């Protein structure tokens, strides 16, 4: 049971329908793994095309034509390159991203206190999501580097199968800087931009829904309605996240190119140009991340409701 509202000591862990205890956080970790692992793996064909549009925009000019080119040259297998590291890497990332977000959010709110937490909610969301993403990206980085190398290497020049690719990345660690050579660009893409936008925009949009459109208490609406709010808010958050994080995402793809091996981040930015990094593959990334993020939040909240934990956000 939750703590009575009349209690002298306010505790953010007892604000929701169930207490945020170890059981709650453990389920959040599992829900996050399902949400990110399944959605990113399902979007592998879009990801393959997006990465190739970023590193070879002359050859891969658009999403549909890019898919057609990959299938023509490599068969159906070509659009599912990197499926293994994507599934495992983003399951690990999602586990820490969503699970630790719940932990950090409650912790920061308790440090700030009830009044400050209510007044500066966006700062709490930003700090919690950024903190969680730091750990999530450490888990993701080796598998993200492997995924990008598989997806952007010309056919026949790098193993496509998961385990041989991992072995090859390790063997070439002096050149590829595996396993954490892309960690700083990954943090730049995820921590400061993508994840903060993803969580803050989501939480804010959910509040707007329940403040201006669905004005009755959140608990009075059906699970289907609440999950509809979750999906819509997640989709909006995904679009914003795609736009602000695309330059860093393009840079990670450039780091995986053979001709950029050993070059510094600064030299790659100077050679490619920031405008190119910001715009190449953006349309595909907006569609991919809008859909991806909407379904991620839906899966996460659907799992939470199935566990009796309620949906995320809202008054």
CA distances from 307 to 17, 27, 229, 296, 312 (A): 12, 8, 19, 17, 13
Top mean-pLDDT range of 8-12, 118-122, 289-293: 118-122
CB 148 within 8 A of CB 176: no
Query: For the ranges 18-22, 80-84, 173-177, 265-269, which has the lowest average pLDDT?
Result: 265-269
pLDDT in tens, 77-104: 999 999 999 999 999 999 999 999 999 9
Mean pLDDT, residues 103-120: 96
Helical (H) or strand (E) element with 144: helix 121-152
Residue-wise over 213-235: b if at least 16 C-beta within 10 A, else e? ebeeebeebeeeebbebbbbbbb
Mean pLDDT over each residue of the chain, to the nearest integer? 89
CB 68 within 8 A of CB 78: no
- CATH number (2.60.34.10, 1.50.40.10, 2.30.40.10, 1.10.1060.10) of 17-306 reads 1.50.40.10
pLDDT at 38: 96
pLDDT at 107: 97
**Domain limits of the chain?**
17-306
166: Cβ contacts below 8 Å, ≥ 6 apart: 85, 146
pLDDT at 8: 59
pTM of the model: 0.83
- Residue 315 pLDDT grade (very low, low, confident, very high; cuts 50, 70, 90): low
């Amino acid at each position: 049971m939750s703590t009575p509202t009349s209690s002298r000591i306010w505790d953010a862990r007892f604000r929701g329908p169930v207490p945020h205890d170890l059981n709650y956080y453990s389920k959040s970790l599992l829900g996050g793994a399902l949400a990110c692992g399944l959605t990113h793996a399902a979007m592998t064909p879009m990801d393959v095309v997006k990465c190739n549009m970023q590193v070879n925009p002359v050859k891969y000019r658009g999403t549909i034509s890019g898919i057609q080119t990959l299938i023509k040259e490599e068969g159906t297998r070509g659009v599912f390159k990197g499926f293994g590291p994507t599934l495992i890497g983003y399951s690990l990332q999602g586990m820490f991203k969503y699970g630790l977000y719940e932990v950090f959010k409650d912790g920061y709110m308790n440090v700030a206190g009830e009044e400050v937490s209510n007044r500066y909610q966006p700062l709490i969301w930003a700090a919690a999501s950024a903190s969680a993403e730091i750990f999530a990206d450490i888990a993701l980085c080796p598998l993200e580097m492997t995924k990008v190398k598989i997806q952007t290497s010309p056919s026949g020049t790098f193993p496509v199968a998961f385990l041989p690719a991992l072995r090859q990345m390790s063997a070439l660690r002096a050149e590829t800087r595996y396993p954490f050579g892309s960690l700083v660009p990954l943090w730049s893409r995820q921590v400061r931009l993508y994840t903060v936008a993803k969580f803050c925009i989501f939480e804010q949009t959910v509040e707007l829904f329940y403040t201006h459109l669905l004005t009755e208490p959140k608990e009075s609406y059906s699970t289907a309605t609440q999950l509809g709010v979750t999906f819509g808010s997640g989709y909006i958050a995904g679009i914003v996240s795609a736009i602000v994080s695309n330059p860093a995402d393009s840079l990670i793809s450039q780091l995986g190119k053979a001709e950029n091996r050993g070059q510094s981040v600064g030299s790659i930015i100077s050679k490619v140009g920031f405008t190119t990094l910001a715009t190449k593959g953006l349309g595909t990334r907006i569609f991919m991340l809008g859909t991806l993020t909407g379904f991620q939040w839906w899966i996460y909240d659907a799992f939470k409701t199935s566990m009796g934990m309620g949906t995320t956000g809202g008054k």
